[in-house]
A and B are shown apart, each in its own frame.
Chain A
């Protein structure tokens, strides 16, 4: 799940300072689940914008705002409203916002900050879980990601910075390596922690990355 958070309203106001007629676009997937881009949030945002004198001329929640063809289809349906609008305010993640941006000739402003790929622990509580590093080592670490859960992304064990099992960077967080150690012990796989992990090969993950399954190509 891609976890996003609303930008402060002051920042949104600043982004929209030269726009009057505004279209709100959310997203039916992640942004809806994390309560920043569903219908409910767009209705609330519409009211807030109207309070400061903006005109919200449409709002839509595409099924998946990072799906180019789906968003194109939905935008076609409100073509005239789009050509009459000054700007779109997107409540999708950064990915969806860019997809929308590709499809229109007016500015698309982000209403959200895209925070991380994470887990929905329970309603309204999210935690970062994957840094999309492109070279998954969860098989060696008892399904706990040190790249994400260790503040220093250490690959070979903890630094000396854990105090009572908590991280020096944020004492709210458990030391990832202590968790990994406990988990591997439980799984009877502690020997895995003894293997030296080579530094990551960043040449393989130079961004932006693309994957195409077409023309018989498999994921690289």
Chain B
């Protein structure tokens, strides 16, 4: 059983941190960040060409983390691989000892840095979960039996700030039905959002990690509000960032306070920290959150 699964099943407050493989072949900075996370996180969530930007693959990074004795959460999207490739990646992940898998739709190639790539989407996130569930029962999607097969602790994503929210909840239920045992949310910035979302998802009896993106500046907050679906940074936080003489530090403080309050009020089962390029700050955020 993975650390993450154990933590969630034991009702510990779980922490995962996101890490992107490098755009290039030098993994050293990413691996140094991973080392900094160390035992303070229950899983290091490795992105799969996040924002449709070409990088080294998620699975390669997962393997590198396992070699360091760290526990990855293997992200896989439906954007670039058909069901043959996705199942193949899952078998390979099983061989490497990957235990956590997070299924995502994937940002469309046109928003990324190789915009002419063919969008695949043979499987949607529900289909990816179904594939993983089938494999863990020793059968592939073609109905063929496998002698040996992997078993994954399956996760998916959800967006609490969404209109109409019922549509997110419906898809969430489909993901649960397809095998998802935990969810990480799009970044949230208000306690109120998670309070409402917890209420709405109570009947699903699933585990939810609140998404945390530390702010780096007021400009970043405004940019995200304008451009990133599902993100809503409240004005008072933007004000706080504006007033601060050290906005990066303020962002870390805000993230830490938010995590502390989420945990204190029992509004989620853990957090998923996406530091986007400032991964070395993750331990500082956890310090602020008293974790």
From A162, A194, A200, A202, contact of B173 by CB (8 A): A194
Specify which chain A residues have a CB less than 8 angstroms from the CB of B21 in the assembled complex.
none
Chain A contacts of B230 at CB under 8 A? 160
Check A156 against B171 for contact (C-beta < 8 Å).
yes
Q: Do A196 and B174 touch (CB < 8 A)?
A: yes
Residues A160 and B157 in contact, CB atoms below 8 Å apart: yes
Tell which of A152, A177, A200 touches B119, judged by Cβ atoms closer than 8 Å. A152
Q: Are the CB atoms of A199 and B127 closer together than 8 Å? A: yes
Tell me the smallest distance from the CB of A122 to a CB of chain B, in Å: 27
In Å, the complex CA distance between A169 and B106 comes to 12
Nearest chain A CB to B55 CB, angstrom units? 20
In the bound complex, CA of A162 to CA of B119 (Å): 17
Is the CB of A168 closer than 8 A to any CB of chain B?
A: yes
Q: Tell me which of B122, B124, B164, B229 contacts A168 (CB under 8 A).
A: B229
Q: From B67-75, B88-96, B107-115, give the one contacting chain A.
A: B107-115
Please determine whether B174 and A169 come into contact, CB atoms closer than 8 angstroms.
no
A163 at the binding interface (Cβ < 8 Å)? yes
Kindly identify, within residues 148 to 195 of chain A, every residue whose CB is under 8 Å from any CB belonging to chain B: 151-163, 165, 168-169, 177-178, 181, 193-194
Please count how many residues in chain A sit with their CB below 8 Å of the partner chain's CB atoms: 27
Once A151-B108, A169-B111, A199-B122 are accepted as A-B contacts, the answer to whether A160 and B167 lie under 8 Å apart by CB is: no
A-B pairs with lowest CB-CB distance, top 10: A157-B171, A159-B105, A156-B126, A160-B159, A163-B229, A199-B127, A154-B124, A152-B121, A169-B108, A181-B167
Q: B interface vs A, CB < 8 Å?
A: 78-79, 83, 105-108, 110-111, 119, 121-127, 130, 141, 157-159, 162-164, 166-168, 170-171, 173-174, 177-178, 186, 227-230
**Apart from A162-B229, A168-B111, what 18 extra A-B contacts exist at CB < 8 Å?**
A151-B110, A152-B105, A152-B108, A152-B119, A153-B121, A154-B105, A156-B125, A156-B174, A157-B126, A157-B174, A159-B105, A160-B105, A161-B107, A169-B111, A194-B170, A196-B177, A199-B127, A200-B122
